[in-house]
A and B are shown apart, each in its own frame.
Chain A
Amino acid sequence: MSMAELLSDYTARNVALGSGLLGVISGVLGCFAVLRRQGLLGDVLAHAALPGICLAYLLTNSKSSLVLLLGAAIAGWLAALALLQIVQQARLGEDSALGIVLSTFFAVGITLLTFLTKRGDAQGAGLDRFLFGQAAALIEEDVFVIAVLAAIAIGATALFYKEFKLLTFDALFARSIGLPTQALSVLLTSLVVVAIVIGLQTVGVVLMAAMLIGPAVAARQWTNRLGIMIVLAALFGAAAGLAGALLSLSAENIPTGPVTILSLTLIVVLSLLFAPARGLVWRRLNRSGG
Chain B
Amino acid sequence: MNALDIHDLTVSYRDKVALQDVDLAIPAGKLAAIIGPNGAGKSTLLKAALGLVPTVAGSVLIYGQPYAKQRHLVGYVPQRSSVDWDFPTTVLDVVLMGTYGRLGWIRRPGRAERDRALACLDQVGMADYADRQIGQLSGGQQQRVFLARALAQDASVYFLDEPMAGVDAVTEQTILSVLQDLARQGRTIICVHHDLDSAPQYFDWVVLLNVRVIASGPLATTFTADNLRKTYGGSMRAAIAHFQHFEEELEQAKR
A165–B96 Cα distance when bound, in Å, is 12
Whether B71 and A177, one on each chain, are in contact in the complex, defined by CB atoms closer than 8 angstroms, is: yes
Q: Which of A168, A176, A220 contacts B76 (CB 8 A)?
A: A176
A170 at the interface (CB under 8 A from B): yes
Whether A35 and B106, one on each chain, are in contact in the complex, defined by CB atoms closer than 8 angstroms, is: no
- 1/0 per residue, CB under 8 A from B, across A159-178: the answer is 11011011011101101111
A168–B93 Cα distance when bound, in Å, is 14
Whether B89 and A226, one on each chain, are in contact in the complex, defined by CB atoms closer than 8 angstroms, is: yes
Q: Which of A37, A160, A178 contacts B71 (CB 8 A)?
A: A178
A54–B74 Cα distance when bound, in Å, is 51
Known: A159-B106, A170-B83, A172-B82. A224 touches B100 (CB 8 A): no
Whether B89 and A169, one on each chain, are in contact in the complex, defined by CB atoms closer than 8 angstroms, is: yes
- How big is the A interface, by class? 20 to 34
Interface residues of A in 138-168 (CB under 8 A from B): 159-160, 162-163, 165-166, 168
Interface residues of B in 79-138 (CB under 8 A from A): 82-84, 87-90, 93-94, 97, 100-101, 103, 105-109, 133, 135
Whether A170 and B78, one on each chain, are in contact in the complex, defined by CB atoms closer than 8 angstroms, is: yes
Q: Which of B50, B74, B97 contacts A169 (CB 8 A)?
A: B97
A169–B84 Cα distance when bound, in Å, is 7
In the complex, residue of chain A having the shortest beta-carbon distance to the beta carbon of B79 = A172
Whether A173 and B87, one on each chain, are in contact in the complex, defined by CB atoms closer than 8 angstroms, is: no
B52 at the interface (CB under 8 A from A): yes
Known: A172-B52, A175-B52. A162 touches B106 (CB 8 A): yes
- How big is the B interface, by class? 20 to 34
Interface residues of A in 239-260 (CB under 8 A from B): none
A220–B133 Cα distance when bound, in Å, is 12
> Which chain B positions have C-beta within 8 A of A162?
100, 103, 106-109
A23–B74 Cα distance when bound, in Å, is 42
A223 at the interface (CB under 8 A from B): yes
> Which chain B positions have C-beta within 8 A of A159?
106
Whether A173 and B78, one on each chain, are in contact in the complex, defined by CB atoms closer than 8 angstroms, is: yes
Whether A166 and B97, one on each chain, are in contact in the complex, defined by CB atoms closer than 8 angstroms, is: yes
Q: How far is the CB of A22 from chain B (nearest CB, A)?
A: 23
Q: Which of B82, B101, B149 has the most CB of A within 10 A?
A: B101
- Nearest 10 pairs of A and B residues by beta carbon: A177-B101, A224-B133, A176-B76, A172-B78, A170-B83, A176-B50, A226-B88, A178-B71, A169-B87, A229-B88
- A-B contact sample (5 more), CB < 8 A, given A159-B106, A172-B82, A178-B101: A169-B94, A176-B51, A177-B100, A178-B68, A225-B88
B contact residues vs A (CB 8 Å cutoff): 50-52, 68, 71, 74, 76, 78, 82-84, 87-90, 93-94, 97, 100-101, 103, 105-109, 133, 135, 149, 153
A contact residues vs B (CB 8 Å cutoff): 35, 37, 159-160, 162-163, 165-166, 168-170, 172-173, 175-179, 220, 223-226, 229
